[in-house]
Amino acid sequence: MTDRLSRRGMFGVGLGAAAVLAGATPAIARATNGEGLTLRWWGNNSWEIRVPSADGTSTKTVLIDPWLTRFHTGTYRPEGADPKSRLSVNTTLIDGYVDSGELRADHILVTHGHYDHVTDVPYLAKKTGATVYGTETHLNLMLALGAPEDQLAVATGGEALVFDGYTIRILRSLHSAAGARAAVAFPGTRPNLGLERLPKPRYIKDLVEGGTLAFHVESARGGSVLNFGGSNYIESELDGLRPDVVLLPAGGGMIADYVGRLLRVLGNPPHVVPTHWDDFDHPLTEPARDWGGLTALRAAVAATSPASRFTVVDHLQTFTPAKTS
């Protein structure tokens, strides 16, 4: 069907141009000491970042784009996903992780408004009491899905926020581009925050992109991570950032020198960890299945920044960045 959305097309898989780049400068050693932060991958672009509190007596948790339900859409099949795939939230699954203490949150960060990034956030916010950061559109969509209004904080990009043992910088960013027109899937905005509630979204097409953000989380004890929810970015927003870990989405075939420009402006980071590379029609309890972008991403990173460590994390596994010098 012509009205179906193909995620392979949405992200692109042609990283050949970036992969042939060579002669990059070595990765710069950072202050990472292995004590500052730990990452856990919950599939897609869902990341759990744990950092020690300022006094070291507790652990704080930041979630990015948490989506555990992973309802079936057929997104990575050749025919793509049906825009009228119904939204659903597996509250039993989420309750199991949260009630057992395996998953918690102090903050939830939303990169953009698509179904595989925001659908579970309203329920998770209720369960955990976390503050949610997103654009005006993201918050309006989540209000319509039942998110607690007093836990929502609007972000536009440019914010630098200090919390107990860590900082969050919110950056303006761009969504992936696809197709002959290099277009964004499910585009659009839903403005006028809180003035008029939107109808409850029912289908994946109802969750529009609504602007895209990137997030830089840094522990006071050393270690920082930069996350993108789509395979694109605003290069000028990243100037001067030197993250220890870049969570880099697969794809970027429509973006000029997608990997090369990014890693160079970031000073060739010590660690690159792929994100948004698994077929989310399969559950988190199974090993991640590459939708087709992982090999090209690995090659592009190796060619562009050979000293950067490319580490693939599987579903529910943790990653603690080690010092590179």
The predicted pLDDT at position 124 comes to: 98
Cβ atoms 117, 142 nearer than 8 A: no
Total residue length of the chain: 325
Residues in Cβ contact with 237 at an 8 Å cutoff, skipping those fewer than 6 apart: 157, 171, 172, 173, 214
The predicted pLDDT at position 101 comes to: 96
For 40-71, b/e burial (b = at least 16 CB within 10 A) is bbbbbbbbbbbbbbeeeeeebbbbbbbbbbbb
The predicted pLDDT at position 184 comes to: 87
The predicted pLDDT at position 183 comes to: 83
The predicted pLDDT at position 216 comes to: 98
The position carrying tokens 């607690």 is 148
Domain residue ranges in the chain: 7-319
The predicted pLDDT at position 163 comes to: 98
Which segments in the chain show pLDDT lower than 70? 1-35, 323-325
What would the pLDDT profile of 3-12 be if each residue is shown by its tens digit? Answer: 444 444 454 4
Superfamily of the domain at 7-319: Ribonuclease Z/Hydroxyacylglutathione hydrolase-like (3.60.15.10)
Q: Which two tokens stand for residue 15?
A: 């990283």
The predicted pLDDT at position 112 comes to: 98
The predicted pLDDT at position 323 comes to: 56
The predicted pLDDT at position 240 comes to: 96
> Distance between CA atoms of 94 and 107, rounded to whole angstroms?
16
> Distance between CA atoms of 93 and 95, rounded to whole angstroms?
5
What would the pLDDT profile of 252-289 be if each residue is shown by its tens digit? Answer: 999 999 999 999 999 999 999 999 999 999 999 999 99
The predicted pLDDT at position 6 comes to: 47
In this structure, which amino acid lies at residue 186? F
Q: What is the DSSP letter of 108?
A: E
Q: Which two tokens stand for residue 148?
A: 């607690």
> Distance between CA atoms of 237 and 218, rounded to whole angstroms?
17
